[in-house]
């Protein structure tokens, strides 16, 4: 739910969702979501001529979104689908480890999404989302490795196994940074401990028979001074199914107190090119962009979307097989010192409805044949 990058030679900065997650049980029945909206009822293949013409993979990419209320408010999903004239192939769901054990309402929600044809992507974060951003020593990586959370982990593993359909689990994302409790050098975390913690959690799920879980490893975009390389925090090929990467175009929305500088407009390629190169060199895995969005301030957001989705992704980023839009108004967190973050005084409207031109550009892009894929 966040992004980090370097824009002004000072400390790193990240978006902050300001979320207060709810457990929310979806009770309302949804009738005819696919009918009248459009939406891929299954994978679509680009024909050979189109694949040759675009230089893109023959298998189309999947489109998803983070819709903050969608887990428990069906109307949010319906409205978003109507806005973009199709259903997304997947939705992102954030869950902090203090928000409760896996239970019947969560299973019901997953089954509801499955009925809609939606694959869940669970951003599963070992922290208290309502606590301090970083200073949470209870969630030090050594405690996960030692087994302090095994009962909680096992409950989720068993619950997702009982669901029985694909669930993409994005565990402890942006681990190459130092702005989360599991990050580099905070809460006493030592080099190598993230890899050990990931493998520990992965092993608990394997023991529970959760073979339907797809493991997504999502570092933040690379930038000058990022605390860790992707190689240093990679759990290994046998523990990871998909790669991921997060990144945002802040535009000129934010003044960073940490460097007394203004955020700057960046193209999609400026944000992701170095990280994509690092991931594709690391292993042959499909890539999910777990969080991406653009500001309206400082440039043309609609043109940014068109370039990203219809030029950059099909032609220059063929290993990206799924893209999730971060559809929320959110403030930023400014890393003013190692282990210390402060909220920004302004927020960014990342939503696709931030302007009529932005919505039109996004709807046109995601209805192209290239984005009719399924997450699997």
Can you tell me the distance from the alpha carbon of 345 to that of 164, in angstroms, rounded to the nearest whole number?
44
β partners of residue 124 = 95, 171
pLDDT tens sequence across 42-59 = 434 454 444 444 455 668
Please provide the distance, in angstroms rounded to a whole number, between the alpha carbons at the two ends of the chain: 22
CATH code for the part of the protein at 4-371: 3.20.20.80
Q: Select from 66, 62, 7, 61 the least CA-distant residue to 293.
A: 66
Write down the pLDDT at residue 337: 74
Can you tell me the distance from the alpha carbon of 22 to that of 328, in angstroms, rounded to the nearest whole number?
16
Can you tell me the distance from the alpha carbon of 123 to that of 94, in angstroms, rounded to the nearest whole number?
5
pLDDT string in tens for the chain (376-residue length): 443 333 443 334 445 444 333 333 333 333 444 444 444 434 344 544 444 444 556 689 999 999 998 888 889 999 999 999 999 999 999 999 999 999 999 999 999 999 999 999 999 999 999 998 899 999 999 999 999 999 999 999 999 999 999 999 999 999 888 889 999 889 999 999 999 999 999 999 999 999 999 999 999 887 776 677 889 999 999 999 999 999 999 988 776 777 777 778 999 999 999 999 999 999 999 999 999 999 999 999 999 999 999 999 999 999 999 999 999 998 777 777 766 777 777 889 999 999 999 999 999 999 999 999 999 8
Residue 64 has φ and ψ, to the nearest 5°, of: -140, -175
The predicted model scores a pTM of 0.86
Q: Which residues contact 175 (CB under 8 A, 6 or more apart)?
A: 182, 183, 184, 194, 219, 228, 233
pLDDT tens sequence across 199-209 = 999 999 999 99
Residue spans of the domains in the chain: they are 4-371
Q: Select from 349, 359, 179 the least CA-distant residue to 253.
A: 349
Q: Is 252 exposed, middle or buried (0-12, 13-18, 19+ CB in 10 A)?
A: middle
Please say whether the beta carbons of 39 and 366 come within 8 A.
no
Cα 335 to Cα 14, 228, 259: the distances in Å are 8, 16, 10
Write down the pLDDT at residue 6: 37
Please say whether the beta carbons of 89 and 62 come within 8 A.
yes
């Amino acid at each position: 739910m966040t992004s980090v990058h370097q824009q002004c030679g000072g400390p790193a900065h990240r978006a902050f969702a300001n979320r207060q997650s709810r457990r929310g049980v979806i009770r309302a029945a949804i009738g005819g979501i696919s009918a009248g909206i459009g939406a891929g009822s299954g994978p679509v293949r680009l024909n050979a001529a189109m694949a040759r013409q675009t230089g893109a993979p023959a298998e189309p990419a999947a489109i998803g979104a983070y819709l903050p209320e969608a887990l428990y408010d069906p109307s949010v999903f319906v409205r978003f689908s109507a806005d973009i004239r199709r259903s997304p192939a997947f939705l992102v769901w954030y869950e902090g480890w203090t928000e409760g054990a896996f239970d019947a309402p969560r299973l019901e929600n997953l089954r509801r999404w499955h009925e809609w044809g939606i694959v869940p992507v669970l951003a599963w974060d070992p922290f208290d989302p309502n606590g301090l951003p970083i200073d949470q020593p209870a969630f030090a990586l050594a405690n996960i490795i030692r087994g302090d959370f095994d009962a909680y982990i096992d409950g989720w593993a068993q619950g997702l196994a009982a669901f029985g359909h694909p669930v993409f689990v994005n565990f402890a994302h942006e681990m190459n940074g130092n702005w989360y409790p599991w990050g580099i050098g905070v809460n006493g975390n030592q080099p190598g401990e993230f890899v050990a913690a990931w493998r520990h959690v992965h092993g608990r799920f394997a023991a529970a028979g959760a073979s339907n879980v797809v493991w997504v490893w999502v570092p933040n975009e690379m930038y000058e001074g990022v605390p860790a390389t992707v190689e240093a925090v990679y759990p290994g090929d046998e523990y990871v199914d998909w790669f991921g990467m997060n990144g945002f175009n802040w535009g000129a929305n934010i003044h960073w107190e940490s460097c007394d500088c203004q955020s700057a407009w960046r193209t999609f390629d400026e944000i992701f090119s170095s990280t994509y190169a690092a991931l594709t060199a690391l292993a042959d895995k499909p890539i999910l962009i777990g969080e991406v969005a653009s500001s309206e301030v400082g440039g043309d957001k609609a043109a940014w979307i068109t370039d990203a989705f219809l030029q950059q992704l099909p032609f220059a980023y063929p290993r990206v097989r799924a893209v999730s839009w971060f559809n929320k108004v959110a403030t930023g967190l400014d890393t003013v010192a190692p282990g210390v973050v402060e909220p920004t005084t302004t927020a960014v409207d990342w939503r696709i409805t931030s302007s009529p031109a932005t919505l039109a550009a996004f709807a046109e892009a995601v209805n192209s044949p290239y984005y009719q894929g399924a997450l699997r």
